[in-house]
Amino acid sequence: QVRLTESGGGSVQRGGSLKLSCASHISVFSRCVMGWWRQAPGKERELVSIISPNGATTYGDSVEGRVAISKDIPKRSIDLQLDKVKDEEPDIYYCQADCRKAWVSGGVYWGQGTQVTVSS
């Protein structure tokens, strides 16, 4: 069982910065591609950013230039910062661990999701 512990979220001011963290077991943190996705009601989940075990990063088109993802090794977490938050951005953020290449029985695992509310 892969457990992903999300933190951060809540209320963020329009134009401000959103910070999220996702902690996991050391085997997940060190071997899986981890990242953040987000979803608006009635829409498909979209990529925010992912980071591979070797530190390579990928960013979603809708956040390019405004987002940074990094690893906190002592905390075994991945940290996301999204700047210049807009009113119309999706409001549920999910941590993901893609472990399909990490071990034979590995799959794709999701956190429970964290709500983000943009205030003006």
pLDDT for 37 equals: 98
46-51, Cβ contacts within 8 angstroms, sequence gap of 24 or more: 46/90, 48/80, 48/82, 48/93, 49/80, 50/96, 50/98, 51/78
Sign of the Cα torsion 53, 2, 113, 17 reads negative
pLDDT for 1 equals: 83
Q: Which residue carries 């590995």 as its tokens?
A: 106
pLDDT tens series, the chain, 120 aa: 899 999 998 999 999 999 999 999 999 999 999 999 999 999 999 999 999 999 999 999 999 999 999 999 999 999 999 999 999 899 999 999 999 999 999 999 999 999 999 998
